[in-house]
A and B are shown apart, each in its own frame.
Chain A
Amino acid sequence: MNTLTDRFRPLTGHRLFWPALVLVVMLAANTVYRPGFLSVEVKEGHLYGTPVDILRLSAPLILVALGMTLVIATGGIDLSVGSLCAISGAIACLHISEASDQNSLSTVFTALALAFGVALVLGAWNGLLVAVIGIQPIIATLILMVAGRGLAQLITEGQIITINSGPYRAIGLGHVLTLPLAIIIAVAAALLVAALTRRTALGLIVESVGGNAEASRLAGIRSGRIVFLVYVVSAACAAIAGFMMTANVSSADGNAAGLWIELDAILAVVIGGTSLAGGRFSLGGTILGALIIQTLTTTVYAMNIDPQTSLLFKAVVVIAVCLIQSPAFRARVSRRRGATTPRPTTRQPEKEQVSA
């Protein structure tokens, strides 16, 4: 019994073991419920199937969560990503809707560049508030979370902007080499962020600042710059996610686009094993976390769970994942199982009662 657990320790000890296991279990449960769940087929040169759908639909969340991972690793949090999705989507759609030829590639690229630029500026605003002025991240980004919705409404003038642009729609629904473009974009973004953090020293410095800010300062790290940068990166990721969401439906709704995605993104990061206290982060874990959340959503639909109670279902699974990952919880469970081992008896010094 012991040798068995010992043999699997290198595997179970891996930080991504538990989230990966949860994902596998969920996929297995779905397959049992609906045997065709995992089947993938090629139709008209495109890959189709539930797994592909899960990947495609999780692409925006993966993007937002990647940026969120870096922010959280520095010990911060970015609540404004949902609003940033809405703003970037609204700007892009507005620009395209006003163009004479909505299908022109140059129009779409101008729209994307414009919206992306605005998102970077807004990210810099967040960074400024947190890194330079020193406002607590949760408050600093709350400003843009609330004000950003208003800004998006202002851009769309309270309407839903509908566009009819083939190239723009392709961001959400197009295919390249049989794969949905959204998946390719998400993978590319993940590789880019991974390269940005692990090929340079950015990852180390982010983890150092999040792990011990004062020690980092005394080691000569200009933590202000790094903190500023991660909010800009987070905004950039949110902008691309915003393009995908609006492209999926060929319209920009300032109110609904990216609503509550910041919460899903934070969940994805936490499920992926990055501590909210900052420090060590795992991009792979975050991606797994995002996939778990999207799989959950898909499962809820697939199993015909009442949509009104689906959030509760989601919450239960998330709590389970977090508990499984918690070393303290696991220790408690395994201690209970192995309760036959005698506990060390601690001699409690007798306390004298104090007369009042």
Chain B
Amino acid sequence: MTGSRPVLTMTGISKTFPGVRALHDVDFRLFAGEVHALMGENGAGKSTLIKALTGVYEIDEGTITLDGEQVAFSGPMQAAAHGVSTVYQEVNLCPNLSVAENVFIGREPRRLGVIRWGETRRRARELLARLDLDIDVTALLGTYSLAVQQMVAIARAIDVRARVLILDEPTSSLDADEAAQLFRVMRQLRDEGLGILFVTHFLDQVYGIADRITVLRNGTLVGEYRTEELPQFSLVEKMIGKELDVLERLDEQPRRVVSSRADATALVDTAELGRKGAVAPFTLRIHAGEVVGLAGLLGSGRTEVARLLFGADRADHGQIRVDGGKAPLRNPVQAIDRGIGFCSENRRAEGIVPDLSVRENMMLAMQAARGWLRPIPRRRQDELVDRYVQALSIRPANPDLPVRNLSGGNQQKVLLARWLITEPRLLILDEPTRGIDVGAKAEIQKLVVELSDGGMAVLFISAELEEVLRLSHRVAVMRDRTMVAQLTNDDTLDADRVMRTIASGTHRKEVQR
């Protein structure tokens, strides 16, 4: 199956963006007739590697050979013309055009410059038949399901004498049946001799279809493995990595005491809360003064849980109680009214307002809660802003600077301050320490401990298990958009066990009494 010579070889690929080393000396090879999964957490360099291959980015170092010939594509179009086609996560097609038009857009069969529609339709039907898809090619693409649209995107990709097909998270918006249909097509194309590079966050799918796995972490190559020789647990371990970071040398926090709250009413209590396509129904109780960690790989549904608890997305299943009373959280305003705050993982798009000053960004949530008619007096603003600039060591300590001039870590602290000022009872922190330096990380962790000691409940989401374990009383584990376990953080719980739970997806719930 895996012939003597790889169809595609990437050797010593390095790529640096200002301030970030995205790829460092990465090797990758792809054989004809195999499905090769590229794995790694977000920021590991998967997309960068694909973009380096297809010429979206110019690589700093390294060589790419296709069929033994060295190549450097100027962009996806040229790459496709040489047989390297990419299908992206979001279907990059036009729903308002017909299926046939979508397949041939930009390269319609022509005669004397005039598009030959009959020929276009006939060839589109042929291509789709190759994918076992018998649909009306004259119908608008938008009338078909996402899965079919994904197939059409693939049909478009394989038309151009493709030798390498890159599928970048093609299944993220598909349900199980649709994904199965896609895999059937992938197997068929593989058997026809295509080399398929497959990126996904779903572990099950990797083991369902991939012949070989390459793992990246922090822009470097961890290794290339045959799927059957790499157990799931090892894969997760290799993806996350065992960072011996500086934090562990900081004062080791004593293991958080599990307080017995058998009789206390939960601050927030969800019953089978869920949203179709986002996260399967889950039941989670959070008490005052408790830190609940949410562990799981990226795309496992951690953020989706947070967004439902904050009313950022509407649940379409189950119910949520706050202080024992039913509380339909339909929008953030209702959640904030009940004392819930939410720091999004996506600082840039969902957190800061870049043009506004540090002060204004900090006051935003409190001001929104008061309404625009009741401005916060300047003296009170100064008091609050000064307090949090100091408490969180925000640098530079000038509240009148536009927040976009601050570093990522300091922007994160500004967001934290925005919510702390509102004195929430439950603070949801989605990846609060991602992409910030070790010092700021430690400060934020210390703050979480202090806040929970002061009675605030915290839902702490992080990809770093050590961090989750250090801070949480309880750890809820997410896998494939399902909450698969809730583990009490006692002496028996360690990163290994959490990793094993992520990898195996045991449906073992330690019920909180």
Chain A residues proximal to chain B, CB less than 8 Å:
199-202, 204-205, 207-208, 211-212, 214-222, 226, 279-280, 349, 351-352, 354-356
Residue ID in chain A nearest B359 by CB atoms: A204
Closest 3 CB pairs of A and B: A220-B368, A211-B353, A220-B336
Q: Name B residues whose Cβ lies closer than 8 Å to a Cβ of A.
A: 58-60, 69-74, 78, 81-82, 310, 312, 331-333, 336, 342, 344, 349-356, 360, 363-365, 367-376, 418
Number of A-B contacts (CB under 8 A): 96
A200 touches B369 (CB 8 A): no
A219 in complex: contacting residue of B60, B72, B368, B373, CB < 8 Å:
B368
Tell whether, in the assembled complex, residue B373 and residue A200 are in contact, meaning their CB atoms are under 8 Å apart: yes
Are A214 and B58 touching (Cβ within 8 A)? no
- CB pair B352–A212 under 8 Å, yes or no, is yes
- B364's closest neighbor in chain A, by CB? A219
Chain A hits for B374, CB < 8 A:
200-201
Chain B residues, CB < 8 A from A221: 364, 368
Q: Decide: A352 near B70, CB < 8 A? Known: A201-B372, A218-B312.
A: yes
- Closest Cβ of chain A to B432, distance in Å, is 15
> Are the C-beta atoms of B72 and A351 separated by less than 8 Å?
yes
A201 vs B344: C-alpha distance when bound (angstroms) = 24
- State A205–B365 Cα separation when bound (angstroms): 10
A208-B356, A220-B336 known; 9 other A-B pairs, CB under 8 Å? A201-B376, A204-B372, A204-B375, A212-B352, A216-B353, A218-B344, A219-B365, A220-B332, A352-B71
Q: Are A207 and B372 in contact (CB under 8 A)?
A: no
Q: Contact: A204 with B73, CB < 8 Å?
A: no
In angstroms, Cα B367 to Cα A202, docked, is 10
Given contacts A214-B349, A279-B355, contact A200 B336 (CB under 8 A): no
Q: Are A204 and B367 in contact (CB under 8 A)?
A: yes
Q: Does B72 lie within 8 Å of A216, measured CB to CB?
A: no
Instruction: For B360, list chain A residues within 8 Å (CB).
Output: 204, 207-208
A–B Cβ pairs within 8 angstroms, 29 of them = A200-B375, A204-B356, A204-B360, A204-B375, A207-B355, A208-B353, A208-B360, A211-B355, A211-B356, A212-B354, A215-B351, A215-B352, A216-B353, A217-B312, A218-B310, A218-B342, A219-B365, A220-B369, A222-B333, A222-B368, A226-B372, A279-B355, A280-B356, A352-B70, A354-B71, A354-B73, A354-B82, A355-B69, A356-B81
- In the complex the two chains form, is B364's CB within 8 Å of A216's CB? yes
Chain A residues positioned under 8 Å from B352 (CB to CB): 212, 215
Contacts A205-B368, A207-B355, A208-B353: A219 and B418 contacting too (C-beta < 8 A)?
A: yes
Tell me the minimal C-beta distance from A321 to chain B in angstroms: 21
Chain A residues near B350 (CB, 8 Å)? 214-215, 218
Contact between A349 and B372, CB atoms less than 8 A apart = no
Residue of B nearest to A223 (CB): B368
A211–B404 Cα distance when bound, in Å, is 12
Closest residue on chain B to residue A226 by CB atoms: B372
Residue of A218, A279, A349 ringed by the most chain B CB atoms within 10 A = A218
Contacts of B73 in A (CB 8 A): 354
Residues of B within 8 A of A354 (CB): 71-73, 78, 82
By a CB distance below 8 angstroms, the chain A residues around B373 are 200-201
Residue of A nearest to B369 (CB): A220
Are A207 and B58 neighbours in the complex by a CB distance under 8 Å?
Answer: no
Q: CB-nearest residue of chain B relative to A213?
A: B353
CB distance from B427 to the nearest CB of A (A): 13
Q: Tell me how far the C-beta of B421 lies from the nearest C-beta in chain A, rounded to whole angstroms.
A: 11
CB contact under 8 A between A207 and B356, given known A215-B351, A351-B72:
yes
Chain A residues positioned under 8 Å from B370 (CB to CB): 201
By a CB distance below 8 angstroms, the chain A residues around B364 are 204, 208, 216, 219, 221
| Residues from chain A with Cβ under 8 Å of B336 in the complex | 220
Q: Which one, B310, B344, B354, B418, contacts A211 given CB within 8 A? A: B354
